[in-house]
């Protein structure tokens, strides 16, 4: 699935919640619980996303020209937020990640159910996903 197909799927899922903040938060926590666990040995300081109020770990690897991400957080809602990004970007090519225009946060009215701090952290997460994609692209081109 393309980045936009995945975003459209996320938008459709959240539309069922009809903007209900409590249900949305529970759904985000549920998504976070379903995120595959990240091995403790890669929860290092180097993998912490800078700019997040909560602790968020993000790791990337590349296989067959696609970037795969692992993530975790020490808070349930933030873990749900990062799970949305893992779902959107994992398995995509570096160029698809770099060039992706994320529209799902606006369409699901994310600003209504996450505060300014989390919103800034979410932007920091997006930036880190793209930084990893650039790094993977450069590494692949140099081999």
Active site residues: 52
Contacts of 127 (CB under 8 A, 6+ apart): 51
Contacts of 115 (CB under 8 A, 6+ apart): none
Other beta carbons less than 10 A from residue 116's beta carbon? 9
The CA distances from residue 95 to 31, 42, 49, 133, in Å, are: 26, 25, 21, 7
């Amino acid at each position: 699935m393309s980045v936009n197909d995945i975003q459209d799927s996320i938008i459709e899922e959240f539309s069922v919640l009809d903007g209900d903040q409590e249900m949305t938060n529970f759904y985000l926590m549920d998504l976070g619980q379903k995120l595959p666990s990240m091995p403790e040995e890669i929860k290092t300081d180097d993998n912490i996303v800078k700019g997040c109020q909560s602790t968020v770990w993000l790791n990337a690897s590349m296989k067959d020209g696609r970037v795969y991400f692992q993530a975790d957080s020490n808070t349930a809602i933030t873990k749900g937020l990062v799970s949305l990004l893992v779902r959107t970007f994992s398995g995509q090519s570096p160029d698809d990640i770099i060039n992706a225009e994320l529209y799902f946060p606006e369409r699901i009215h994310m600003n209504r159910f996450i505060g300014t701090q989390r919103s800034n952290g979410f932007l920091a997460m997006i930036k880190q996903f793209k930084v990893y994609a650039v790094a993977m692209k450069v590494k692949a081109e140099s081999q």
